[in-house]
Chain A
Amino acid sequence: MQVLEKTEIQPSELLNLYRDMKIIRLFEEKCSQLYMQGKIRGFLHLYIGEEAIAVGLASALNEDDHIITHYRDHGHALARGLEPRAIMAELCGKATGTSFGRGGSMHIFDASKNFAGGHAIVGGHLPLAAGLALAAKQLNEDRIVVCFFGDGALNQGEFHETMNLASVWKLPVLFFLENNFYGMGSHIDRTFAGGSKVHTIADRYKIPNSRIDGMDVLAVREASIDAIAKIRKTSKPYLLEAVTYRFQGHSMADPVTYRDRDEVDKWRPRDPIALLKEMLLEAGHASEKLIGRLDEEANLTVEDATQFAESSPDPDPNDLTKNIYA
């Protein structure tokens, strides 16, 4: 088992974090275009602005660990190392997609990467996370479970039930709250009675917790390494709250009438990719030229995925009813 130490991070690793965030950013921008062209249908929720969370966490996780997440899942899937081609093909509803065109944007799965979905019922996947951890514990496997969810899920009974179960049963789950302050158009101040230190809701369940800057990929990485080490050591849950912001609307259908431009502008300087770039340049870990090369690498990855998806075949209609039952 690989135990990550929170030691000095290698410059090469920093560059990887940058590139991985950039891939997600460009991937999401491409999705937006494809959606406008009618090539992606249904709901499409972009992760733009929140990239540091998925990338920071993924860099701290072992391959055997499970990840389960909500519907804003492209970033988590890419960071986890799922094939960009297969994800893009899924979004385009193609036979070569992660679920062979059965799931779409909100339901990305890859069992080979222990990526247990993309789940589109707010709060609905939290109990599953407890179950994945229960199985690992019962089977004496050295795995933990990371469960991403949004601030909107805080108000679902399933969140509270799962916090309680995980604590009572001592389950190795990292509850990873992506607090971007909004559930669709509703600001957390109008929906959540637990106060501004949101993470402390876990205190009541005797689950240790902390809050981090979700725009700082290194902070996310370090906090994840710490939390995961605690979980492995104690086989008990932990809750991390990453404070973040989504720069786009909730989904492509969102005209964003509920917040003003000033608020978005206030967050712009906190763009996680720009922040890391600045840091890399200042610390002399990278030149503008090297950053340009990484950007190009990311761009090629996304172009290749898009090309693959667009040239892939539709699912075979004869397989429509395949996999209803195992």
Chain B
Amino acid sequence: MAELTLRDAISLGLREAMDNDPRVIIMGEDVGAYNGAYVVTKGFLEEYGESRIIDTPISEAGFVGAGIGAAMAGLKPVVEIMTINFSLMASDQIINNAAKIHYMSGGQYSAPIIIRTVTGGGAGLAATHSQSFEGFYATIPGLKVLTPAFPDDALGLLRTAFKDNNPILYCEHALLYNVRGEIPDDSSFEVPFGKAKTRRNGSDITLVGYGRSVHTALLAAEKLQERNVDAEVIDLRTLRPLDIQTLIESTQKTHRCVVIEETWATGGFGSYVAYEIQKNAFDDLDGPVLHIGGLDVPAPYARNLEIMTIPNEQWILDAVEKEFGL
């Protein structure tokens, strides 16, 4: 077992793929000479050269589309969109091309592209640079959406992604890059898509999250323990495909469930997850399935305001107390 940061786990996965498969290229804004805006591709340009580590102009629609076209014609491109906020310029390419080409061509063409992007708020970047659109992309058939919260999942999911023939959105939360964790030495270690992971076992309540909200849930679980409430914490890991079964089974055991996410609560992906749980575990529930999302406000800049908009462990504790008396 080696301990790595989430950033280094991603770098490792990318290096392995670059070493193993000449069809893999990495392209995006500043992935080369600059070493990546979040320093994930540090040293890649020197090691692999300009033909495979391609710095692009600031043309998200152009280079994401080019990545999709290259994938249709035999390459395995990893395209980095600096942050998910800028994916909006490429959303036509992601939604209308990548997600559709296989179905619309009757299975003749496919687009095995991995789009890496950085998501999440909380870094004082204000309204245009603090958004979390992974849940929105997860509503689109044809895409797969991955949200690793720990280094082992970051590597394991990436390994699986390189073997998959579909367009994949791989979402890295900006505040999780320095999270450390154990990585299995076994080079065959992979994480399957559509399989949630129980990060903490408990019997009184189920807390469900993805990306950074898993960490928030784990903090809440520690605090709940002080109140003698034993919380189970489940990390979705992939939003599409989505593992509902694990959530149902956990909720049938604990009889209570809270779904937590950072994007705006209104229409959030978590509200759909909550719906599935209440529908399938209704008879076992001791109360409504709760959904905690971000405040419906453009992300403010000032620190004191910003912290009011993103769910933290206290939000979870308050909701659990109010709704379940725990």
Residues of A within 8 A of B (CB): 66, 68, 97-103, 107, 109-112, 116-117, 119, 121, 124-136, 138-139, 157-158, 161-162, 164-165, 168-169, 322-326
Interface SS majority for chain B = mixed
Tally B residues with Cβ within 8 Å of A. 44
A125 to B93 alpha-carbon distance, docked (Å): 8
**Interfacial chain A residues near B75, Cβ < 8 Å:** 134-135, 138-139
- Is B287 located at the chain interface by the 8 A CB criterion? no
Nearest residue (CB) in A for B75 is: A135
**Interfacial chain A residues near B108, Cβ < 8 Å:** 99, 109-112
Nearest residue (CB) in A for B60 is: A161
A131 to B110 alpha-carbon distance, docked (Å): 13
Name A135's contact: one of B69, B105, B109, B144 (CB within 8 Å).
B69
B102 near A324 with CB under 8 A, answer yes
A130 to B56 alpha-carbon distance, docked (Å): 13
A323 near B63 with CB under 8 A, answer no
- Is B165 located at the chain interface by the 8 A CB criterion? yes
- Is B70 located at the chain interface by the 8 A CB criterion? yes
A110 to B103 alpha-carbon distance, docked (Å): 13
- Is B62 located at the chain interface by the 8 A CB criterion? yes
Nearest residue (CB) in A for B241 is: A325
A131 near B96 with CB under 8 A, answer no
B63 near A132 with CB under 8 A, answer no
Within B87-134, which residues are at the interface with A (CB < 8 Å)? 89, 92-93, 96-97, 101-110, 112
Residues of B within 8 A of A (CB): 23, 25, 51, 54, 56-57, 59, 61-75, 77, 89, 92-93, 96-97, 101-110, 112, 141-142, 144, 165-166
Name A128's contact: one of B23, B59, B72, B102 (CB within 8 Å).
B72
**Interfacial chain A residues near B54, Cβ < 8 Å:** 169
The 6 closest A-B pairs by CB, nearest first: A131-B69, A127-B65, A161-B62, A99-B106, A135-B73, A128-B69
A49 to B166 alpha-carbon distance, docked (Å): 39
9 contacts between A and B (CB under 8 A): A66-B73, A109-B104, A109-B106, A126-B65, A127-B93, A130-B62, A130-B65, A157-B61, A165-B56
Given contacts A124-B97, A157-B61, A165-B62, contact A107 B142 (CB under 8 A): no
B69 near A165 with CB under 8 A, answer no
**Interfacial chain A residues near B97, Cβ < 8 Å:** 119, 121, 124-125, 128
B107 near A326 with CB under 8 A, answer yes
B61 near A127 with CB under 8 A, answer yes
Interface SS majority for chain A = mixed
Most buried by A among B62, B64, B92, B97: B62
A162 near B62 with CB under 8 A, answer yes
A112 to B108 alpha-carbon distance, docked (Å): 9
**Interfacial chain B residues near A128, Cβ < 8 Å:** 65-66, 68-69, 72, 97
**Interfacial chain A residues near B72, Cβ < 8 Å:** 116, 128, 131-132, 135
Nearest residue (CB) in B for A106 is: B104
**Interfacial chain A residues near B61, Cβ < 8 Å:** 127, 157-158, 161
**Interfacial chain B residues near A139, Cβ < 8 Å:** 23, 73-75
Report the minimal beta-carbon distance from B30 to chain A, rounded to whole angstroms.
15
A203 to B56 alpha-carbon distance, docked (Å): 21
Nearest residue (CB) in A for B77 is: A131
B51 near A138 with CB under 8 A, answer yes
A197 to B143 alpha-carbon distance, docked (Å): 41
**Interfacial chain B residues near A131, Cβ < 8 Å:** 65-73, 77
User: Contacts A107-B105, A124-B97, A132-B72 given; 20 further ones with Cβ under 8 A?
Assistant: A100-B107, A102-B104, A107-B104, A109-B104, A116-B73, A121-B97, A130-B62, A131-B65, A134-B70, A135-B71, A135-B72, A138-B75, A139-B23, A139-B75, A158-B92, A162-B66, A164-B62, A168-B57, A325-B144, A326-B110
